[in-house]
Structure 1
Amino acid sequence: MLTQSIYQRFMEMLTPFFGIFTSFILFYYRKDFNRSNLYLALFFLCSNLIVLVYFGLHFSKSPFWEGVFFVNFMPLSFVIGPLLFYYVKYAVAENKNITPKDYLHLFPAVVVILYSLPYTTLPFSKKVEIAHHIQAVTQDYDFSISFFSLKKMLFIRPLHLFIYCVLSWGYFKQTTKKRLASVGVLPTHHSMIQKWIYSLIGLQSFIASYCLLDSYADFILNDYQGIINQKNYFRFLGVAFSLQNVILFLFPKILFDTISYPDASLARNRATQLKKGNAVEINQNITTLLDKYMVACPFILPGFNLSKMALDLQVSERILSNYFNTELKISFSEWKNNQRIDYACKLIEEGKATKLTVEGISQNVGFSSRSKFIDAFKERKGVVPSTYIKQFS
């Protein structure tokens, strides 16, 4: 029984750490694409820190962790909604810059920081005493900190998040409608972006609604059992936030490519060109762009793909993919492998790879594994890399 309890605690604690790890994946891939990943990563980081707070308060059974997490992390709850809105805005808006006006969305979080000061400035021993008394003894959250009681703050918190879910959904719908009216077409990956954003907003709306109903039952109706007993209530929230992490992995292009709407003026020009039937002119323009782009050998970067190339060239993925299929008569994936193999051959022929193993060469030209490099090399050159190296030894 004790082993089962320890295992359950371990799994519950593993949940937020998995989410925090996910946020670092988003941070890592942000640098190669655009800044919308920054807001998404911060959103996931704050969400999973909240789960960690739930664990520390309600499952750790430790007065120390109760003192650490009680009220101190309250401002994070008022940051999640604005970060969700920033992510949606940065992903789909025509103007992708955060304006000074946008920082007003963080005003509630600043107010909560000021509200919490009388508690956060207390000696830690006093914090532990107050937190443990409320969490483990009385379960009475009618605790006046400054402006009003903690009970009211816990009621406002999910309401604030729900308002931002509605705001984010409305912004996405309005921006999509405006783009369709001004450009005439939506990006090819619009459907995927819509499913992802709706999934994110839908799950957060569900979490906010559930917390709001429970807070209403607990604090307004004075039914302290709430909808569900407290332990299961926080487990349920932990599962909901964990589901958010899992859903992200069902959208690998969001996780690794940070797909967003391209610049509207560029999309408008491309749409006009396509309507006029200037396919030859478009392909010529891409050829010119490609000649300049290839000087830096971007294809040797591990994260290089069609999305990255389209973003760099400021061309939609659909048009770029069509260029490879119709103009070059080859898929992008085949073109990329050919470029990498030709670059590897150049290194070998110029004697720059004498001190590198086959695996070392594969990494230097952008392949994720030695086996993929060997297969692609043999398909391109008819021999394996080691045989080719011997010819130039």
Structure 2
Amino acid sequence: MDIDNLLIIVTTISLFISLLLAFFLVTIKTKHKVSNLLFAVFLTLTAIDVSDPLFSLVSDGPSNMAMLRNSLAFLQLPVFYLYVLSVCYSDFRLQPKHLLHALPFLVVNLMVLPRFYMVDAASKIDFIMNRQTRVELQFTHILFHFQVILYCITVFMLLRKAKKLYLENYAGKSIQSYNWLFQIAVVLTVLYLITLFKNIFKFSDYPNISEYIKIAILLLQLFIVCWYLFKALYNPGLFQNVDSKLKLVADIISEEKNSGHFAENTKEDTKELSKLRHYMTAEKPFLNPSLTILEVSNAIQIPVRDLSVLINHTLGQHFYDFVNIYRIESAMQILKDPAKNKLTVLEILYEVGFNSKSSFNTAFKKHTGNTPTAYRKVL
């Protein structure tokens, strides 16, 4: 089997899986419709981008359709950025202002309009054959490089802030959402960096190297698409997002200091802390696997803003870790109880409010220095 046939097979499989997953995302019944739609669009754009080997079978040379297909790459990262926004923030809505993300795509197509879209086939061939001297194509590649760097940095900054907000206000399992998004952001960043590397050779004296890298990208793309499918099927209800109106505790404290209303270690803090700890031990709200700081705030009648500062700043803990300590203490009591020695670790973690074995083991070892199984053995 020669390399061209192999690429056609790989591209066909990748295209089929991408479109199948996109169809699954837009047809499945879920409350995350916007997120699913955006990810489906991203998968479709990616599938179109990697379809070059198949497209070459039905195209005799440069065409308007081929140029448009190439320019769709300028929509991939903007759509992925909007997808990340929709996953991170529960109040995200698609708005007309989001169309601004399509500006690079429009600019690129307008630039090549006079000397490519509006000319005959011979002129199109000449335009592509002399691409190293075409200002339009050089600008297109510079713009693409700039866009990749800008969006990758923006996505990581967004994830960093969203994860902090989640840890400060929630204590459920959905921290996995941000781990998944971080993983996919890292994978995409690596993929796009390889693509940028390929494009550098495309405009150099060694264009053949660009073709070899292109083959590697197509093979890597297939593995990435299969990974998407595995994640989607393994965890279809992964995401529970936060309200974008929430503020980081550091920002709240900064605002209060600027207004002169911030005071450290007041008697009121001690009183509220005692009230909070009594509620946690007496009512055991941590048994709720989806506990939020708002629910605790409503129960003990302390404003959520003050409660967030009390836990995340005064105690120096994220709300997520604060709640998990009570869960671990409860699990330790169960593990010590001879009457419950037949309970499995899985049964115990669900009983105390965890719903993930990995997060339970991580939190337990962080608090005790041992895994739950090892802790039970040394008792």
Q: TM-score range by the shorter chain?
A: 0.5 to 0.7
Contact 1:12 1:55 (C-alpha < 8 Å) held by counterparts: yes
Equivalent positions of 1:89-100 (< 5 A) are 89-93=85-89, 95-100=91-96
Identity %: 14
- Say whether residues 1:82 and 2:78 are aligned partners: yes
Contact 2:7 2:215 (C-alpha < 8 Å) held by counterparts: no
Partner of 2:231: 251
Deviation at 1:19, TM superposition (A): 1.6
Partner of 1:188: 173
Cα pair distance change 1:134/1:244, threshold 3 Å: farther
Find the aligned partners of 1:209 and 1:179 in 2 and give their Cα distance. Answer: 30
- Structure 2 unaligned residues grouped into runs of 5+: 247-275, 289-346, 356-379
Contact 2:131 2:137 (C-alpha < 8 Å) held by counterparts: yes
Contact 2:18 2:47 (C-alpha < 8 Å) held by counterparts: yes
Cα pair distance change 1:100/1:122, threshold 3 Å: closer
- Say whether residues 1:230 and 2:221 are aligned partners: no
Cα pair distance change 1:55/1:238, threshold 3 Å: farther
The letter of the residue matching 1:110 is L
**What secondary structure is seen at the aligned counterpart in 2 of 1:97?**
coil
Cα pair distance change 1:150/1:5, threshold 3 Å: closer
- Say whether residues 1:260 and 2:259 are aligned partners: no
Q: Deviations over 1:350-377 (max 9, x none)?
A: xxxxxxxxxxxxxxxxxxxxxxxxxxxx
Deviation at 1:264, TM superposition (A): 7.9
Cα pair distance change 1:69/1:188, threshold 3 Å: same
Deviation at 1:94, TM superposition (A): 5.0
Find the aligned partners of 1:277 and 1:235 in 2 and give their Cα distance. Answer: 62
Contact 2:42 2:79 (C-alpha < 8 Å) held by counterparts: yes
Contact 2:11 2:51 (C-alpha < 8 Å) held by counterparts: no
- Say whether residues 1:170 and 2:166 are aligned partners: no
Equivalent positions of 1:5-44 (< 5 A) are 6=5, 8-29=7-28, 31=30, 33-44=32-43
Find the aligned partners of 1:253 and 1:13 in 2 and give their Cα distance. Answer: 21
The letter of the residue matching 2:212 is N
Deviation at 1:168, TM superposition (A): 0.7
**What secondary structure is seen at the aligned counterpart in 2 of 1:71?**
helix
- Provide TM-score, normalisation by structure 2: 0.58
Contact 1:26 1:256 (C-alpha < 8 Å) held by counterparts: no
Equivalent positions of 1:140-219 (< 5 A) are 140-142=130-132, 144=134, 148-181=135-168, 183=169, 185-190=170-175, 192-219=176-203
Find the aligned partners of 1:99 and 1:254 in 2 and give their Cα distance. Answer: 31
The letter of the residue matching 1:114 is L
Partner of 1:376: none
Q: Deviations over 1:209-256 (max 9, x none)?
A: 12223333443xxx3315x62332221221232222111123136763
Find the aligned partners of 1:186 and 1:113 in 2 and give their Cα distance. Answer: 47
How large is the RMSD of aligned CA atoms in angstroms?
3.9
Q: Deviations over 1:13-64 (max 9, x none)?
A: 332233222221222226554321111111111111100136535xx38415
Q: Deviations over 1:267-316 (max 9, x none)?
A: xxxxx898475468x99xxxxxxxxxxxxxxxxxxxxxxxxxxxxxxxxx
Equivalent positions of 1:1-393 (< 5 A) are 6=5, 8-29=7-28, 31=30, 33-53=32-52, 55-57=54-56, 60=57, 62-63=59-60, 66-93=62-89, 95-118=91-114, 121-122=117-118, 126-127=120-121, 129-133=122-126, 138=129, 140-142=130-132, 144=134, 148-181=135-168, 183=169, 185-190=170-175, 192-219=176-203, 223-226=204-207, 229-252=209-232, 256-257=236-237, 259-261=239-241, 275=280, 278=283
Contact 2:90 2:240 (C-alpha < 8 Å) held by counterparts: no
- Structure 1 unaligned residues grouped into runs of 5+: 267-271, 284-321, 332-393
Q: Deviations over 1:123-172 (max 9, x none)?
A: 6xx24x3454566xx4x31364xxx4213312321331232111111101
Contact 1:56 1:69 (C-alpha < 8 Å) held by counterparts: no
Cα pair distance change 1:130/1:277, threshold 3 Å: farther
Contact 2:77 2:148 (C-alpha < 8 Å) held by counterparts: yes
Cα pair distance change 1:18/1:279, threshold 3 Å: same
Find the aligned partners of 1:50 and 1:255 in 2 and give their Cα distance. Answer: 27
Find the aligned partners of 1:36 and 1:116 in 2 and give their Cα distance. Answer: 33
Q: How many residues matched?
A: 266
Q: Could you tell which deviates more after superposition, 96-105 or 151-160?
A: 96-105
**What secondary structure is seen at the aligned counterpart in 1 of 2:131?**
coil
**What secondary structure is seen at the aligned counterpart in 2 of 1:79?**
helix
- Provide TM-score, normalisation by structure 1: 0.56
Find the aligned partners of 1:16 and 1:5 in 2 and give their Cα distance. Answer: 16
Cα pair distance change 1:231/1:264, threshold 3 Å: closer
The letter of the residue matching 1:167 is T
Contact 1:92 1:172 (C-alpha < 8 Å) held by counterparts: yes
Deviation at 1:203, TM superposition (A): 1.9
Partner of 1:299: none
